[in-house]
Structure 1
């Protein structure tokens, strides 16, 4: 039984025809001006949907090529000559150290170095949370793309009858996990620096670097993906039979790609975003910019910090409730499910509700409070009975949040009151669950769950989450562009084995090189240029050290977990 959900399925029908056939000629054949209910909405030649190679393509390839070549050359020099030069004056010179910042060898080695992951004071579960959240993101985006390309989309709708499908439909919680981790690490590291040197950490220069470092740290790999997505990726998928479907998100890129560099594209012209999934980076950056409103009160008078946080949580929850009641919107961004017949202005749901820092800041704020607590409360004893009870409550609440909307998915309307309550309080509840998991594990009360989440294998996977997020969508497009036969959905297990796992593996493989070339390289260069001041006021970056006498390497420390998403 296909759920009575009111879903409109967008069917596409492809034909292989001579290249000489124009879109206008095909339209005259298939689209009738006299039919009362014409089923054909659009005729488009896949050949026409992508512009020819332009100067942007060559500029992007040149920039990326120069950086990659520099990383390879620096890596060879690092591997073969550093042993010889380590005690020579040249190896301590600025030029050589700047050159070594791009060493592909050292940068990749730093990703997989887990030697510092067991140090006291580490928030060990963070890497595990990041990795599984990243896999959840890939699951949601991949399934959304896959279901739009299959030749039997109605069979996909049958999944709605299975309650476990809610893990796909509610993959949005993965983004909330990233917001939580961002807020947690921000205050955890800031208050660590503040406890060591209050005056320096709270100086004007420190606050200037607070913002400068953030922008310089996150922008290079992100900006590189923007121009790759805009000018290079369309050329790589131009011969795909699914071109028209895959190009949906790229339609506005030539006009709006520059807006991505402002971190305001989730607010300005949000319906014409180029890199659609990068809204998270913009929202996260905007919340970060206002984070001192909580940090400073927490530093000088914690009670005041909690009051400010509470006010922000109330205002954010009120905004969620108002929007749901005013526009009769759903409890969350739903792909399938019952819709309110009085629903209006849904075109603005993404910009008003889903991507807005006002409605999404709840999880970040709770994460900030959790980070402050971990840094200021060095030791804590938890009663075993209370510990077990809170674990049971947290896990039960987590599954309730994920599975709680199943009746709506199968077509049963949810009253507007409960939609508003879910919209307003599901995200804070998710943050509270994550807070307990982190707090319990941090103080040694996580038991086997802590042992699993603290496994060193998660460390490099967690470090790659930011670049993995940037890379995963192009990887989905590239993989589907290689398919030249019809795609069919048979079962969810088949989807996981043949689609999801390979995409995750490819995403992490290529994110290693994206991170080494465009993230760590520029991070080391930024530290070399600005580290003299920044290391004193806010030590967030990996530390250049002499781990071995023969080589300058990046030593992963607890600060390295500050890499976002």
Structure 2
């Protein structure tokens, strides 16, 4: 109600005040729905000839988000009453089923893009010699303002109101159960530690990514600030990538961890991966996802190193071919890597090796593909990803927060068992995807964009009042 009141007052002021008054009181217009709509629908400018083409990243956000929704549709369906469980078990090792199960590997792309964009922005400003500590804290604060409001609102809503909005055969275990967990561990979401504090209790299970991403973001930011402008950055980051992969390999072998495909077996899904070391140590931990974050840093530093050396990597025929092929190779790896374990119960050491290596291999393939894409290597998938527009990518964050709760609500109210076959999965996936992106619109207009704009206006206002004081000191 408070948010709606703010939006009404702010929008009214935006429509009635003069241009001069709106300019002087920008902070009061932060919740203007008109301004938020303009921010949502604003086009993405074409990159300059000398700048990297990052439009592929926009398409990747939507593609990866829809892949995650697809896997979660099947994952949640297995928590409800399945009409033919035998059919689901028999088709689990089909190639498309393995690709769907392993599609959560695309979360690695989110980590990669986040660290790349962070490092790319800092490396662009490296010649300005910005103060390290000031840049560090300002960047972290910007990140918190970008992510936290929407995240906290959704956690609050699920913990308080969600379970009161419906009823059904599975409403209490699916919706009510999650609400109870959120009421117990909501504070862990505030400090982005929900993936390591009470890891077996799942409140909005998909938000483990936000916690791990924030943890890795802090480390990646510090590493980038320390390595900016240094020639040894690329080999050092490559060495760290190998080192982290080695640590995960050692842990996987010692603790007999299992890869993603085995991890998502029905018996683990039914207990929300409670007590599953593979989920806690590799899947949702910052260490298990550090290779993707390091790959993003490596991609940014390599891109800038090539630019500083005047190397046009897109002119190399062999690299162009390899870069174009790496994207389908990454999908092929996701679909076929479980076959390396053979049929039946996998050997523990083979499963541990795949658990440790499946993410780094996938990330390396994506990194090479993106290195070509941002440097002008043309391909059908680059063209396709570059034409997703700007609205859907901006709504992907809201879709990430909302899609599981919406899907649970749909399943909890069903009065008949689910036929978990391909047609049902397709239509359920399409419906949940459309519903999630639609629900993300009011979240963006009323929470995400207004809080970012308010932070920007307040920061500019503070800097404006600081400037005269600094000028007086200089005159003195």
TM range (shorter): 0.7 to 0.9
- Write out per-residue CA displacement over residues 275-320 of structure 1, whole angstroms, 9 at most, x where no aligned residue: 32211111111111112442134314231x3354244323422332
Q: What pairs with 1:94-173 in structure 2 (closer than 5 Å)?
A: 96-120=25-49, 121=51, 122-152=53-83, 153-173=85-105
3-state SS of 1:357 partner: coil
In the alignment, structure 1 residue 392 sits paired with structure 2 residue 392: no
Q: Structure 1 residues 404 and 142, CA, compared in 2 at 3 Å: closer, same or farther?
A: same
Root-mean-square deviation (CA, aligned residues, Å) is 2.6
Post-superposition shift, 1:411?
4.2
The alignment status of 1:434 with 2:369, answered yes or no, reads no
Figure out how many residues of one structure are paired with residues of the other and give that number.
Answer: 450
Q: Is the 8 A contact 1:148 1:245 kept in 2?
A: no
Farther off after superposition, 360-369 or 150-159: 150-159
Measured in 2, the distance between the counterparts of 1:386 and 1:375 equals: 17
The Cα shift of 1:490 comes to: 5.4
2:178 maps to what in 1? 249
Distance change >3 Å, CA 154–CA 365, structure 1 → 2: same
Instruction: Report the structure number with the largest CA radius of gyration.
Output: 1
- Select the structure that is richer in helix: 2
Q: Unaligned stretches of 5+ in structure 1?
A: 1-64, 340-344, 536-565
Contact 2:182–2:203 (Cα < 8 Å) also in 1: yes
Shift of 1:351: 2.1
- Give 1:464 shift: 1.5
SS of 2:234's equivalent in the other structure is helix
1: distance between equivalents of 2:460 and 2:238? 35
Residue 269 of structure 1 aligns to a residue in which SS? coil
Distance across 2 between alignment mates of 1:407 and 1:318: 20
Cα 1:338–1:347 change in 2 (3 A) is closer
Secondary structure in structure 2 of the residue aligned to 1:274 = coil
Q: Which of 160, 166, 177 is equivalent to 2:109?
A: 177
Q: Does 1:423 align with 2:352?
A: no
* Aligned mates of 2:161, 2:300 — CA distance in 1: 40
Q: Per-residue displacement from partner, 1:365-413 (whole Å, max 9, x unpaired)?
A: 11111123334544614322431244235523431233220465x8423
1:533 is displaced (CA, Å) by: 8.2
The match for 1:301 is 230
Q: 2:16 aligns with which of 81, 85, 97?
A: 81
Structure 1 partner of 2:468: none
Q: Which residue of 1 aligns with 2:287?
A: 358
Change (3 A) 1:490 1:312: closer
CA distance in 2, matches of 1:393, 1:179: 18
| Distance change in 2, residues 1:510/1:407 (3 Å) | same
Q: Distance in 2 between matches of 1:442 and 1:163?
A: 30
Deviation, 1:146, is: 1.2
Q: Deviations over 1:199-246 (max 9, x none)?
A: xx2343222212222222211111111111111111123x12112441
Q: 1:359 to 1:315 in 2, by over 3 A?
A: farther
Q: Specify which of 108, 114, 123 is matched with residue 191 of structure 1.
A: 123
Structure 1 pair 334/115, CA: closer, same or farther in 2 (3 Å)?
A: closer
* Secondary structure of the corresponding residue to residue 157 of structure 1: helix
Cα 1:429–1:505 shift into 2, 3 Å: same
The equivalent of 1:319 in structure 2 is 247
Q: CA 1:246/1:507 → structure 2, altered by over 3 Å: closer, same or farther? A: same
Shift of 1:337: 8.7
Q: Compared with structure 1, are the counterparts of its residues 293 and 115 closer, same or farther at alpha carbon in structure 2 (3 Å cutoff)? A: closer
- Counterparts in 2 of 1:352 and 1:370: CA distance versus 1, 3 Å: same
* 1:294 and 1:309 in contact (8 A); partners too: no
* Residue from 404, 423, 427 that aligns with 1:493: 423
Matched, 1:523 2:459: no
Equivalences for residues 183-222 of structure 1 within 5 A: 183-195=115-127, 197-198=128-129, 201-222=130-151
Q: Indicate the residue corresponding to 2:474 in structure 1.
A: none
Change (3 A) 1:177 1:282: same
Instruction: Tell me the residue number matched to 2:165.
Output: 236
Contact 2:150 2:448 in 1 (8 A): yes
Distance of 2:27 and 2:222 partners within structure 1: 36
Change in Cα spacing, 1:397 to 1:288, as seen in structure 2 (3 Å) is closer
**Residue 330 of structure 1 pairs with residue 262 of structure 2:** no
Q: Give the whole-Å Cα distance in 2 for the aligned partners of 1:110 and 1:397.
A: 34
Q: How big is each residue's C-alpha offset from its partner over 1:541-562, in whole Å with a ceiling of 9 and x where there is no partner?
A: xxxxxxxxxxxxxxxxxxxxxx
- TM-score (norm. length: structure 2): 0.87
**What's the secondary structure of 1:150's corresponding residue?**
coil
Identify if the C-alpha distance between structure 1 residues 296 and 254 changes in structure 2 by more than 3 Å, giving closer, same or farther: closer
Other structure's SS at 1:263 match: coil
> Kindly tell me: are residues 118 and 399 of structure 1, through their superposed partners in 2, closer, same or farther at Cα, counting changes over 3 Å?
same
Gaps of 5+ in 2: 269-273, 465-476
Q: 2:450 and 2:48 mapped to 1: Cα distance? A: 25
